[in-house]
A and B are shown apart, each in its own frame.
Chain A
């Protein structure tokens, strides 16, 4: 057995290391013959040191301290002079291994023990691989969540897909066409939605929210609150009888408040699960505590409505969690100068998206809103009626609340392209209507995007460079005021319809979820990925991944690509086991392992 001498020095005056307790720990280690505290920034005399080494017959020197490398040459020379093997000067560098303070004295001891045994600390301190639970939780049922769930489930692993609303599909289900190919969005998405529903490895939890997460990477325990749907989705056949009889009308979220729905409803005909649900905020039976209404229960031929159903909390165990919570639109009313909320014919992009959708409230007709009497509430409302007059001219304003230090400083990345798509749809459906695009910079960066832009320009949309300052009403028309910076002149365009390409923000609840899971967020509010270039789907928290818009604005192709990529990481972790936590190692573990490794080395 080697005779070891431990020399402990302090090299920074502000070090917070318990040197004394380390010295007594070192003295009790088996091979240690000599321990000496050198003090703060010692002067090392090589000759007397060599003398000391010879006297004590040391054949290994451990030089310990906050950054002891500086003195290694002197000790190497001394050991050489004393006739020893110069490679036997070992460093125990506390700072370098994250043991630079009193709180982590145990780790400092472990570093010291490794040095005494002559094995590098990083080689010893490798946590054991942990067993990863094979099930995965996907939070958010938009296109990203759907893609991730299908990828993992197709590989044969269990997936829980939690969705806050009554149906999966997310924003993409609201869209009519996708840019730049002008494919039908529903034709791409609906088969995937149905596949999720029918997949034996996917358990779909709609109308549900994650309320708590405990445990460690590889073994999370997640509590999910299932809000009462009040309709048994397995026996509902979506016959529409309940909706027909329901007397309560409220604004439809899925149709972006353009039209109304009932208190018992299905978000859209292709919803998954294809079953009705009750809005408890609106339902007269629920609000009155069961004393009023309840006609839908009597009308339902399958007897699957239970208005008294209560919320449930289910607990699931998963190994990995994927966040695909998506985005919301910035509240366009915040950008006051465009008059959203004040003028009925100023629409957000999502509202226009619903209006132009063939399954939307106007059946795909582009119309200006008309004033109608709401007989129930006795008020006049502006409604998108398919019989309303079509606009003769449309203005599309880019960058509403984006790239603006007063709102979102970042670019929302999709607005330029969907605005161009809108111009195409307007020109296609209303060939006589003029269409103006107001932009600051046209960001057509993707595959086929530039060509798409040229195509839209060729189709006769007027593309005006310059941000509009204001939308006002004059002579019964909306007037868009701005500066055309290419022509270098002020412009005013009277139009019938204004579409605001509103910027994107993280979905509501992103902050709460980040707090719940301990996942950091960017200054913009989106989840932070581990490394922008290298690990775009991982987060700082092991076992938790991100994909899609919740990590930052991106278009559908990028979202789907990231969603598939995330599945690779999850499957890797399930098949190889995750990285354990360094803090889970105890001092005795390391001592034992270091001793063993020393033996096997010799």
Chain B
């Protein structure tokens, strides 16, 4: 594996970052098993709403299924790699297979309002916050 050639400090630092991110964020709390599985997910906050950015290069859109239910979003699918019949492989670093991952969201969302966009091998999920969950300012009389 590639990881074995890495700088050990880099590996340790990555572990530390992962642990810090785990404790500092409420994002994966409810699904401990979901952490670190494929595909890797970054979650960003944009104004009141959230954007989940998933790296999924080389996937056929037809092989990708996204389900939203209450406050969970499930991403599953299959990544296929075809070399062709006559090919002999010199180097094989890309991986293929099936994946199934559920993201639980610590906020109330509008399941109907989630938009997904797949471009350049990156899946972006736009997750709107439920109107009832948005912070509102209170006027002082």
Q: Do A and B bind each other?
A: no
Chain A contacts to B: CB under 8 angstroms: none
